[in-house]
């Protein structure tokens, strides 16, 4: 699915919410050492840079060169393009070798991964004992205002037919069905992700940019369907309160964290 994001990477990255800094602090407190972290599916490196405040070195990888080209520079972060053609051994060697990684993070991306392959690599890389892996995401479940929430709920229902790819079940279901074969460390466990909140203050125009970045909207457009027609946008804008009004969106988020069993 990287192609959907590649075509509008700058829109996607400008619109997406920012992960709270205290998440990184909590994860760092769980790992025994703080030498090396790996941020997989890094995009523009938002999570990688947050992690870098707590680890000596961060390796940030992505299958999308377009997204990596938007990576924010940081002295502790190195970005690498990791196409799906890379072998497991090549991935392990690139990131740091077996039993070397203190923290692995995947922010709003693990549902796109080849999970058996990714988890096999993670198990080889994680330091034993004490290495931590954490995955998190958010979906279309959000709170703005009673007037707007009912309108966006109808819009979300319209997008569902274009979310009919296997990976969508994981994030639409709040990672409750996501396989996560790791020992719990108190921040969710397989089948029981911890529920969190993430806030973003934005104008309607900013919110609209985020909607345009949704994979379902892109998938519908490829099939000739415009989910964000002028009429739909006008209805959303009216319920929001106008294009210039700034509101706070509360995104319902979910996380799983663990260590090698």
Please give the Cα distance from 187 to 258 (Å, whole number).
8
Q: In what helix (H) or strand (E) does residue 58 lie, and over which residues does it extend? A: strand 57-62
What are the residue ranges in the chain where pLDDT is below 50?
1-7, 9-12
Cβ-proximal residues to 208 (8 Å cutoff; 6+ apart), any chain: 228, 233, 236, 237
Position 7 scores a pLDDT of 44
Q: Are 236 and 209 in contact (CB under 8 A)?
A: no
Please give the Cα distance from 147 to 215 (Å, whole number).
25
Position 17 scores a pLDDT of 80
Position 91 scores a pLDDT of 98
Mean confidence (pLDDT) of the chain: 91
Position 124 scores a pLDDT of 98
Position 186 scores a pLDDT of 96
CATH superfamily of the domain spanning 8-259: Vaccinia Virus protein VP39 (3.40.50.150)
Position 227 scores a pLDDT of 95
Please give the Cα distance from 119 to 220 (Å, whole number).
31
Position 61 scores a pLDDT of 98
Cβ-proximal residues to 256 (8 Å cutoff; 6+ apart), any chain: 134, 135, 136, 175, 178, 180, 182, 187, 188, 189, 190, 193, 194
Position 5 scores a pLDDT of 45
């Amino acid at each position: 699915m990287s192609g959907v994001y590649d075509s509008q990477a700058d829109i996607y990255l400008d619109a997406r919410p920012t992960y709270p800094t205290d998440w990184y602090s909590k994860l760092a407190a769980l790992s025994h050492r703080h030498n090396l972290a790996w941020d997989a599916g890094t995009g523009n490196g938002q999570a990688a840079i947050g992690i870098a405040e707590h680890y000596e070195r961060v390796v940030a990888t992505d299958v999308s060169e377009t997204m990596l080209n938007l990576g924010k520079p940081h002295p502790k972060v190195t970005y690498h393009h990791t196409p799906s053609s890379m072998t497991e051994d090549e991935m392990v060697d690139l990131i740091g070798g077996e039993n070397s990684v203190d923290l692995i993070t995947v922010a709003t991306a693990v549902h796109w991964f080849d999970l058996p392959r990714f988890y096999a690599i993670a198990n080889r890389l994680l330091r034993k004992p004490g290495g931590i892996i954490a995955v998190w995401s958010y979906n279309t479940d959000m709170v703005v205002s009673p007037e707007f929430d009912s309108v966006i709920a109808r819009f979300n229902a319209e997008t569902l037919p274009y979310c009919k790819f296997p990976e969508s079940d994981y994030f639409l279901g709040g990672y409750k069905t996501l396989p996560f074969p790791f020992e719990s460390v108190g921040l969710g466990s397989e089948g029981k992700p911890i529920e969190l909140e993430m806030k973003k203050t934005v104008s309607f125009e900013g919110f609209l940019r985020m909607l345009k970045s949704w994979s379902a909207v892109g998938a519908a457009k490829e099939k000739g369907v415009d989910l964000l027609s002028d009429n739909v946008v006008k209805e959303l804008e009216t319920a929001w309160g106008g294009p210039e009004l700034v509101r706070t969106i509360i995104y319902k988020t979910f996380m799983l964290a663990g260590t090698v069993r």
